[in-house]
Amino acid sequence: MAILVTGGAGYIGSHTVAELLDRGEEVVVIDNLLTGHREALLGGKLYEGDLRDKELMAKLFSENNIEAVIHFAASSLVGESMKDPVKYYDNNVYGTQCLLEAMQHAGVDKIVFSSTAATYGEPEKVPIEESDRTEPANVYGETKLTMERMMAWFDKVLGIKYVALRYFNAAGAHASGKIGEDHRPESHLVPLVLQTALGQRESIAVFGDDYPTEDGTCVRDYIHVSDLADAHIRAVTYLRSGSASNVFNLGNGLGFSVKQVIESARKVTGRDIPVVIQERRAGDPAVLVASSAKARSVLGWNPQKADIEEIIQSAWNWHSANPQGYGE
């Protein structure tokens, strides 16, 4: 039986596909390649197309014996979601509805999916626990919370079991050097800082230095992409064992400010990284740091790369060897 990975040609999806293949799993991928890359797929059978194409989805499920789904495919930029909400409801909420419909028709009853720290909004306390208040501060986070609630009803009504993984900020690249982060346009802090170190950008913009944090810049919990990949496979194992639907945070429990990330990148790269302070970006909470105690105890998850310099070094290995990412 195979695992279907939606968005498997994307950044986190491709690292998870690599991990699944390493562990001998059969993998089927659906990806419209809008933000993903064919070259990022180290194996598996690719259906190039969209989750919202119901005919294609029915064909995919009829041609393969799918046991479980890992669902990454989504639009995922906080800033963009505050300018184009329709895109986010359509791709994330309606796209997930189409996927669940295809699963229902095919009798597939296990799904692990990408949720996010953005479901919490401005946290009531840090580190954030799964039971804390969820009040998204941006459209993106709202659509992910809606996806979680949809899953809960599909479980209650149809018995489709889910694991929602609320990841904090993914960074780093695969140890093989074959795959890494290449979003276009890039909007994530770590790759932008490294592109500045490579001289591809004149400076890195810091979005706001008047937040109520130690140095005034936003604090985030950076988690290595391979540690995320490992958590997805543990979540599949958890559902295979017949366990109930569940929600887990995935982070290191350590907060680093935007300025600290830039300083670590200067150390790792030995390059100059000019900074320009800009306005705050809409929808950004000041501090997001995870408690992952639940994932550690229930899934046995134990992230291997907690050190920010190690994470940035891993990303730098990829960016310095592939300055144009996956190329044209």
Ligand X SMILES: O=c1ccn([C@@H]2O[C@H](COP(=O)(O)OP(=O)(O)O[C@H]3O[C@H](CO)[C@@H](O)[C@H](O)[C@H]3O)[C@@H](O)[C@H]2O)c(=O)[nH]1
Ligand Y SMILES: NC(=O)c1ccc[n+]([C@@H]2O[C@H](COP(=O)([O-])OP(=O)(O)OC[C@H]3O[C@@H](n4cnc5c(N)ncnc54)[C@H](O)[C@@H]3O)[C@@H](O)[C@H]2O)c1
Q: Which residues contribute to the site for ligand X (CB under 6 A)?
A: 76, 78, 116-118, 168-169, 187-189, 192, 204-207, 218, 220, 258, 281, 284, 288
Cα within 13 Å of Cα(131), Cβ side: 2
Is 11 assigned a catalytic role?
no
Q: Which is nearer to ligand X, 47 or 140 (by Cβ)?
A: 140
C-alpha pair distances (Å), 241 with each of 161, 228, 237, 257: 11, 20, 6, 39
- Contact status, residue 143 vs residue 73, Cβ threshold 8 Å: no
Q: Which is nearer to ligand X, 56 or 206 (by Cβ)?
A: 206
To ligand X, the closest distance from the beta carbon of 219 in angstroms equals 8
Tokens of 174: 């695969």
* Interaction mask 112-151, ligand Y, x per CB under 6 A: --x-x-----------------------------------
Rounded to 5 degrees, what are φ and ψ at 79? -60, -45
Amino acid sitting at position 127: P
To ligand X, the closest distance from the beta carbon of 188 in angstroms equals 4
From ligand X, ligand Y, none, which one binds at residue 13 (CB under 5 to 8 Å depending on kind)?
Answer: ligand Y
Of 11, 88, 120, 140, the catalytic one is 140
From ligand X, ligand Y, none, which one binds at residue 187 (CB under 5 to 8 Å depending on kind)?
Answer: ligand X
Q: Which is nearer to ligand X, 271 or 281 (by Cβ)?
A: 281
Q: Which is nearer to ligand Y, 116 or 134 (by Cβ)?
A: 116
* Interaction mask 52-71, ligand Y, x per CB under 6 A: x-------------------
Amino acid sitting at position 215: D
From ligand Y, ligand X, none, which one binds at residue 235 (CB under 5 to 8 Å depending on kind)?
Answer: none
DSSP annotation string for 88-139: HIIIIIIHHHHHHHHHHHHT--EEEEEEEGGGTBS-SSSSB-TTS--B-SSH
Angle between helices 189-197 and 258-269 (to 10 degrees): 40
Q: Which is nearer to ligand X, 218 or 312 (by Cβ)?
A: 218
Q: Which stretch binds ligand Y (CB under 6 A): 28-36, 100-108, 155-163, 271-279?
A: 28-36
Query: What would you measure as the largest C-alpha separation in the chain, in angstroms?
Result: 56
Spatial neighbors of 30 by CB under 8 A, at least 6 apart, are: 4, 5, 6, 7, 8, 46, 47, 49, 51, 56, 57, 60, 73
User: Exactly one of 20, 28, 30, 139 binds ligand Y (CB under 6 A); which one?
Assistant: 30
Would you count residue 238 as binding ligand Y (CB under 6 A)? no
Q: Which candidate, 199, 209, 160, 232, places its Cα nearest to that of 10? A: 232
Task: List binders of ligand Y among 7-26 (CB under 6 A).
Answer: 7, 9-13
- Residue 297's Cβ-count burial label (10 Å; 0-12, 13-18, 19+) is exposed
* Site residues for ligand Y per CB under 6 A: 7, 9-13, 30-36, 50-52, 72-74, 76, 91, 95, 114, 116, 167, 169-170, 183
Q: Which active-site residues does the annotation give?
A: 140
